[in-house]
């Protein structure tokens, strides 16, 4: 397997004058360290108006800064909201970042998940899948040479040459956000990488992998003329410490992450355009039985504990595990220490066996290995914790 790190740029209240400044610069320090330690990907979301959950509204700017402080780590949009951005602007920004990073961009694309984000941009929640699919059809030709035009229901572009063009040809690898069980098959049919924003069990990961590759190999139905990217990444909470007990204490940010995501899925801003103080609301949640259940998930523990969990995911044949460490009020030092300990004592074993995984994957794609069809309906699999 390969490993990535993931950024929402969470910033619970209370804030002070230097809060956002420190958050962004500490995150850049962490990505620079991750590059030196051999991590493979750094992913960043795009969110708007989610006050304590995410201060990442301009990921292309942050990733451009990261590109100048790193050499090898892939820089992933996880994801760009195609519903709230014009396709031409997406192509321009992604291509510029790809040039600045010497071809290290991974292009994750998604719909946005709530009315809080969609409505201010004039998008209706019920239309988001249709808008997203049309945006894919519009943006892909813009990465190619020469001029292009597009005339659709939601986007209209007269004949223009969208510049610059990306360094990677024909375009950076495509990923799609996948946060529901039924969308894993959709990702496979599209031929895009599945960036799964839930931390699933190893058993469910096995089912997801089978569903994804069976759809990719048997039912491929691309939205446009793009290069396919058969990959599955699983995103989840992370804290690696010398002992399980220490990791559990320091991983409180992950529990806030998971709780806050659910909160924003069910609450909208009040009359003054603000939300409740999430950190205060979270303190109330911490006193409930549900807190302990949510706090128990993720890759959280000692190197030995995390190693045991990862071996099960490796057996499921996921391509990448993406680690959420910058969450809640996790401190910069704890994040750095966790990244260093994991890279030293856990990661090498799994990176060493990457060649075996790639051989298995090629056998699946060529048809030499046929995967069983697995029922991934809610009735047959345990419910995972959303990331």
* CA separation for the pair 163, 156 (Å, rounded): 17
Axis-axis angle for helices 303-316, 202-218 (nearest 10): 30
Domains of the chain: 2-386 (3.20.20.30)
Place of tokens 């003329």: 225
The token pair that represents 135 in the structure block:
């945006």
Distances (CA, A) of 240 to 214, 234, 236, 248, 347: 34, 17, 13, 9, 11
Q: What is the pLDDT along the chain (387 residues), one digit of tens a residue?
A: 999 999 999 999 999 999 999 999 999 999 999 999 999 999 999 999 999 999 999 999 999 999 999 999 999 999 999 999 999 999 999 999 999 999 999 999 999 988 999 999 999 999 999 999 999 999 999 999 999 999 999 999 999 999 999 999 999 999 999 877 678 999 999 999 999 875 567 778 888 899 999 999 999 999 999 999 999 999 999 999 999 999 999 999 999 998 888 887 777 665 455 556 888 889 989 888 888 777 767 899 999 999 999 999 899 999 999 999 999 999 999 999 999 999 999 999 999 999 999 999 999 999 999 998 776 565 554 444 333
Of 38, 33, 127, the closest CA to residue 351 belongs to 38
- Is the previous residue joined to 192 through a cis bond, with omega within 30 degrees of 0? no
């Amino acid at each position: 397997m390969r490993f990535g790190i993931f950024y929402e740029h969470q910033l619970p209240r209370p804030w002070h004058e230097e809060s956002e400044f420190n958050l962004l610069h500490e995150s850049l320090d962490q990505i620079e360290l991750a590059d030196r330690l051999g991590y493979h990907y750094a992913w960043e979301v795009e969110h708007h108006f989610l006050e304590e959950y995410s201060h990442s509204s301009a990921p292309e700017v942050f990733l451009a800064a990261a590109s100048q402080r790193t050499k090898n780590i892939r820089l992933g949009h996880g994801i760009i909201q195609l519903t709230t951005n014009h396709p031409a602007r997406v192509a321009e920004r992604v291509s510029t970042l790809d040039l600045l990073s010497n071809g290290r961009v991974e292009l994750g694309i998604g719909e946005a998940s709530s009315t809080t984000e969609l409505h201010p941009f004039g998008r209706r929640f019920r239309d988001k899948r249709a808008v997203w699919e049309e945006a894919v059809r519009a943006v892909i030709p813009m990465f190619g040479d020469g001029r292009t035009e597009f005339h659709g229901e939601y986007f209209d572009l007269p004949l223009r040459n969208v510049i610059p063009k990306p360094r990677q040809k024909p375009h950076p690898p495509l990923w799609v956000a996948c946060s529901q069980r039924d969308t894993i098959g959709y990702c496979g049919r599209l031929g895009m990488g599945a960036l799964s924003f839930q931390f699933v069990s190893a058993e469910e990961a096995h089912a997801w992998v089978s569903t994804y590759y069976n759809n990719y190999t048997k039912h491929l139905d691309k939205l446009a003329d793009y290069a396919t990217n058969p990959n599955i990444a699983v995103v989840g909470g992370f804290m690696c410490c010398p002992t399980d007990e220490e990791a559990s204490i320091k991983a409180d940010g992950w529990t806030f992450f998971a709780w806050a995501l659910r909160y924003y899925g069910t609450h909208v801003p009040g009359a003054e355009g603000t939300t409740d103080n999430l950190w205060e609301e979270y303190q109330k949640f911490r006193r409930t039985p549900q807190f302990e259940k949510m706090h128990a998930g993720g890759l959280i523990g000692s190197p030995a504990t995390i190693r045991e969990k990862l071996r099960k995911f490796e057996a499921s044949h996921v391509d990448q595990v993406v680690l959420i460490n910058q969450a809640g009020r996790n401190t910069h030092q704890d994040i750095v220490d966790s990244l260093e300990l994991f890279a030293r004592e856990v990661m090498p074993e799994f990176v060493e066996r990457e060649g075996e995984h790639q051989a298995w994957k090629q056998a699946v794609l060529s048809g030499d290995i046929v995967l069983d069809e697995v029922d991934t309906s809610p009735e047959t699999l345990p419910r995972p914790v959303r990331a």
